[in-house]
Structure 1
Amino acid sequence: MKDFFKHVFATMVGLFLFGFVMTILAFISLVGIIAGSENTNDITDNSVLVLNLDGIMSERTEDNFLNKLNGVDGMSFEAYQRAIRNATDNDKIKGIFIQANSFGAEMAHLEELRQSLSEFKKAGKWIIAYGEEMSQASYYLSSLADKIYLNPAGELSWAGLGGETKYVKHTLAKIGIRAVPVKVGKYKSAVEIFTEDKMSDANREQTERYLNGWWNKIVTDVAASRKISKDSLNAYADRLISLEDQQQLVKARMIDGLIYNDQTKAVVAKMLGQDKDDDINQVAVSDLQEEATDGLSDQIAVYTAVGDIVDSSSPQSVFRGGSQIVGKDFCKDMQALADDKNVKAVVLRVNSGGGSAYASEQMWHQIMELKKKKPVVVSMSGAAASGGYYISSAANYIVADANTITGSIGIFGILGDRSKLYTQLLGMKFDEVKTNRNSVIGAQGHFFSDEQFNLIQRSVERGYLLFKKRVAGGRRMTMEQVEAIAQGHVYLGSDALRIHLVDALGNLDTAVRKAAQLAKLDDYNVKRYPEEKSLLDQLLDMDDSMDSYLNGKLRLLMGDMYEPLKMKHDLETMDRVQARLPFSISLVK
């Protein structure tokens, strides 16, 4: 018995010491994160900015200390764009070294980054790119480089753009679930993944339009940079030159040579005029994040709205890994910007395929209130469609990238019918008591009656009518003109300009300059909103950090099975009436 208590006591002491040591290590790690976030390397003369293109790029980095503890740093368009521009203006930085690998980003992000790299070269500086597993997205950016090198055993993906859509109608049917659509507009195809087993003709038409538009842009730019004809580039994609011997890529002039990773130092050193054994001063993206300020009180606020539009923050879930635009929080932020006397104009940077129709209406209202006090300009990023366009339509002026996905004016609802699951597969029985004919609308034992379904359909149609009214008012169009381009139709930014859904093509800088013009400002500072969370705020809001971290791990673990399960989860948790796109696309091949 003495030995028993002795072992128990020893185990308890061991567990206590283990917990104490782990707490100390965690504290040290957090101190390291804080120190790392506050200190950047000094930039010395003859430096090189290193761009690591590996992973999926987001619009804006969201601080997540759990990811940082695990050595994972976010990669954001905002941070990379700022770093390239600051490097262009910094005389100490002579060139950029691109590590081009398995990188994915939205087409609008790629186009803006490529423009910034072009400005870097125009400043008399050089770019060298090297890859071991180049995606089409990373090659598109690298094609501007003075020299492109590939590992002798490496891979360069070049196959054109395409993809597949998963349809879960029959998968749901196997477990007794039926998804019934309530929608307005023949192009409103977001419901198809739940209700069909293939792409509709209307959806295929619009999808081919933007994919062909994107690919033509990629091929045109690469052809100009690499001095290769567009016909040749398309032929290389058709024959899958990616799978041929790497020497064929050199002969095709898609790359300049084959070298190993350790040989890149000599290439960069030569560009710097140094000996190959000399140390190279490397600058990271994080070292170039400061924005120039002149102590001016007048501000143009750039407010970034990214992700699904939701009424309120969704409950904790491992499937909640992406960004969200929380309607209630957004409205409070717009009120604060309206009341801030230093803010003279607001640029709303929108990257959203939509979401809750109710939240979109509340956000539209708050932008209209803000517009009474100061100009509002929208800068469309990768997507500003459906609910994303709903809120954009309230602005004084809309700027889109030529390859932005926008439009999709329409709404839909999905009614889940689980009666077969409960009554036939599980053998459950239901009975009802009610005071009125429709008191038990949405009962689980049976689907909606014809009367109830028709009432819901009319409710969705009223929502569609309201959406069109908002667009007509904001864009100074008649309802008939809006209807002609609505029906849920998705457009490229270049097409949206032609049909007056946007006012100009350009990037975020274009929108900021327009906001300054509307506010009659010559001198001003640009300030980003919402402000990034401090480490303390992240600790207090542990659920969000944990959800994001677990979602990333789940994606890696489940692979191709992740999306079907997420679709089923989304079907059960989304608001009944939605204004959203049917897809989320990044160029990752």
Structure 2
Amino acid sequence: MREFFKYVFATIIGFIISLVIVSAIAIGIIAGIVSSIDDDNGAVLVSDNSVLYLNLDQAIVERTPHDGFANLAIIGAEGEKSIGFNDIIRSLEKAKTDDRIKCVYLSVSSPNAGFATMREVRNAMIDFKTSGKKIIAYSEVYTQGAYYLASVADKIYLNPEGALEFKGLSSKLMFFKGALDKLGIEAQIIRVGNYKSAVEPFITDKMSDKNREQVTAYLTGLYSTFLQGISESRKIDTIQLHQIADDYKIRQPKDAISYKMVDGLKYKDEVLDELKSLSGKKKKDNISSVTINDYAKSLSDHKDGGSKDKIAVIFANGDINGGEGDNETIGSEKISRSIRKARQDSSIKAIVLRVNSPGGSALASDVIWREIVLAKKVKPVIASFGDVAASGGYYIACAADSIFVQPNTITGSIGVFGIIPNFQNLLNTKLGITFDGVKTGQYADIMSVNRPMTAGERLIIQNDVNRVYESFISRVSDGRKKSKAYIDSIGGGRVWVGNDAVKIGLADRTGSFRDAINAAAKKAKVKDYAIVEYPEMLSPLKSLIKDGTDKIKTHYAKAELGESYRIYEQLKSAIAKSGVQTRMPFQIVIQ
């Protein structure tokens, strides 16, 4: 029945937007060709006495997408420009010693990045400052994430009529049980782990005690790292910062000055005059500037393009599923093939697995884990965790020789669950739809969604979930060299923040992405090496052909639903999941 409605709605939607899609593809192909010509023939010019414009309001992703169609208005790309965090880091490293770059202008209001990613970028800015070059930050509004980034600047300026948000962190979870009850849908749950709360939104209307315990722990950990970073940069005691947030003391722009959160209240023209002075320009002159995106394009992809030895960085980003995946999801086939290619290439001396994933399919996770085990037998494998490396995201990396996390990485969530919806009440009572049929075996229609599970079916599925959990903790036990009993005691689906993960042995040390690469090189005993990235990203044309329709649908859905789009996205994601899941227990929304 679910498939029936899916195809009906898909047909209607497809008919309505077919002309739009055809137009989008046609215009996109032309734009892509023009973009390709521009990219090939138009070198980025960096003038002397330039200001590096660091726009951190764009999406900061794992890898800069090679998307020639990113700026097409027809797919609503305005404001959706993105850059890989690794390109930001490489650019700041280069700019530190580039005589053409005199200073950095940091513009950030509401960054689109997780806390661990922001810390990577923040530390790169701190390193840039060791050159003696200045960072000037300006914004009309600083959200908390924006201020966390801006706090490293030599001067932080706020618009005289602007706002600085500093109130502490909060985490909200969304619960669907009330809606399901109204619709007559029962979520039948099979899980292992008291903390595996991914199923809670479907069976209750509030957080369980166990879930509240783990959310409180990881949110406190995130907040501690947040305050500590600001404290070190602004020379304000963490206790005082805590009090400022608790009492909501920054209510007016002048309050930000009083509590030394910013260095001045200025309009943008005044900030531009200061940037002119720092870059050796006169007031009447125009500023020579280069965006971080353009500057990154001018850099080589390799640390040493002439080196024979290589270190492979394999990016595992997004939900884990079977198949090929795409630039934003982890396909077990594509990632496994990349690991296998790196393992078999004798010029590649070590592998860094970069994970930013909440997990997904248990089977797909195990397929990737197997390739890591094989790779580790012939060369060093180091894992670097980003914002989230939980459940299946942890599963695929647990066999690595060493695991690096940021203090505010969210990881762990060693647990398994399955959800089988029962639509009987909705179909029979509310819609008047009934079913009848025949079968050749007692369990021929197991997993049916038009009736409740039988006791026998529940036992079969529970045993399967238990088996997957047993495999999960066994993999972690072998990889981390801990007893299964111990892994079970810190597992159970519980989520941990990076600092705590190191303390309990789920990770080896806190460190950056660059630290992980350096560790891989050291373990492989290589000094001069090139960095090669896997898997290959989809080209602009392939991306449009593969995902163009979805991008257009997503754009219009966002436009119509606004803030409610997140609710729609979560419901759609929940319905789409199939098979036993090793997935993060919830979507984190921190404000």
TM (norm. structure 2) is 0.90
**C-alpha separation between the residues in 2 aligned to 1:26 and 1:444?**
41
Aligned residue number for residue 554 of structure 2: 551
**C-alpha separation between the residues in 2 aligned to 1:162 and 1:56?**
22
**C-alpha separation between the residues in 2 aligned to 1:220 and 1:62?**
32
The correspondence of residues 376-455 of structure 1 with structure 2, limited to 5 A, is 376-455=381-460
Do structure 1's residue 81 and structure 2's residue 81 form an aligned pair? no
Structure 2 residue matching 1:379: 3-state secondary structure: strand
Q: Does the CA contact (< 8 Å) of 1:361 and 1:391 recur in 2? A: yes
Displacement of 1:301 in angstroms is 0.6
Identity value in percent:
36
Aligned residue number for residue 296 of structure 1: 307
**C-alpha separation between the residues in 2 aligned to 1:573 and 1:330?**
21
Do structure 1's residue 225 and structure 2's residue 227 form an aligned pair? no
The correspondence of residues 95-494 of structure 1 with structure 2, limited to 5 A, is 95-242=103-250, 244-289=251-296, 290-291=299-300, 292-312=303-323, 323-494=328-499
What runs of 5+ residues in structure 2 fail to find an aligned partner?
1-21
Query: Deviation per CA, 1:23-54, whole angstroms, max 9, x where unpaired?
Result: 99766633442244343432232221111122
RMSD over equivalenced CA pairs, Å: 2.3
Distance of aligned partners of 1:543 and 1:227 in 2 relative to their CA distance in 1, 3 Å threshold: same
**C-alpha separation between the residues in 1 aligned to 2:486 and 2:25?**
63
Distance of aligned partners of 1:26 and 1:204 in 2 relative to their CA distance in 1, 3 Å threshold: closer
Counting matched residue pairs gives 561
**C-alpha separation between the residues in 2 aligned to 1:162 and 1:472?**
33
Displacement of 1:372 in angstroms is 2.5
Range that drifts further, 47-56 or 34-43: 34-43
Range that drifts further, 502-511 or 334-343: 334-343
**C-alpha separation between the residues in 2 aligned to 1:377 and 1:522?**
16
**C-alpha separation between the residues in 2 aligned to 1:167 and 1:254?**
37
Q: Return the letter of the residue paired with 1:211.
A: L
Distance of aligned partners of 1:67 and 1:487 in 2 relative to their CA distance in 1, 3 Å threshold: same
Q: Does the CA contact (< 8 Å) of 1:410 and 1:487 recur in 2? A: yes
Q: Return the letter of the residue paired with 2:319.
A: D
Displacement of 1:384 in angstroms is 1.0
Structure 2 residue matching 1:431: 3-state secondary structure: coil
**C-alpha separation between the residues in 2 aligned to 1:73 and 1:498?**
38
Do structure 1's residue 507 and structure 2's residue 507 form an aligned pair? no
Structure 2 residue matching 1:543: 3-state secondary structure: helix
Structure 1 residue matching 2:82: 3-state secondary structure: coil
Aligned residue number for residue 583 of structure 1: 586
**C-alpha separation between the residues in 2 aligned to 1:346 and 1:444?**
43
Q: Does the CA contact (< 8 Å) of 2:25 and 2:548 recur in 1? A: no
Structure 1 residue matching 2:489: 3-state secondary structure: helix
Residue 31 of structure 2 is aligned with which of 29, 32, 41?
29
Q: Return the letter of the residue paired with 1:295.
A: G
What runs of 5+ residues in structure 1 fail to find an aligned partner?
1-19, 315-320
Q: Does the CA contact (< 8 Å) of 1:178 and 1:416 recur in 2? A: yes
Distance of aligned partners of 1:112 and 1:21 in 2 relative to their CA distance in 1, 3 Å threshold: closer
Query: Deviation per CA, 1:516-568, whole angstroms, max 9, x where unpaired?
Result: 122221221112222333334335xx132442354244234312322222232
Structure 1 residue matching 2:126: 3-state secondary structure: helix
Distance of aligned partners of 1:109 and 1:249 in 2 relative to their CA distance in 1, 3 Å threshold: same
Distance of aligned partners of 1:440 and 1:483 in 2 relative to their CA distance in 1, 3 Å threshold: same
Larger radius of gyration: 1
**C-alpha separation between the residues in 2 aligned to 1:22 and 1:228?**
52
Displacement of 1:77 in angstroms is 1.7
**C-alpha separation between the residues in 2 aligned to 1:196 and 1:496?**
29
**C-alpha separation between the residues in 2 aligned to 1:28 and 1:357?**
41
Q: Does the CA contact (< 8 Å) of 2:421 and 2:449 recur in 1? A: no
Q: Does the CA contact (< 8 Å) of 1:299 and 1:345 recur in 2? A: yes
Displacement of 1:162 in angstroms is 0.6
**C-alpha separation between the residues in 2 aligned to 1:22 and 1:503?**
48
Aligned residue number for residue 63 of structure 1: 66
Structure 2 residue matching 1:350: 3-state secondary structure: strand
Residue 48 of structure 2 is aligned with which of 42, 45, 49?
45
**C-alpha separation between the residues in 1 aligned to 2:61 and 2:49?**
30
**C-alpha separation between the residues in 2 aligned to 1:410 and 1:116?**
35
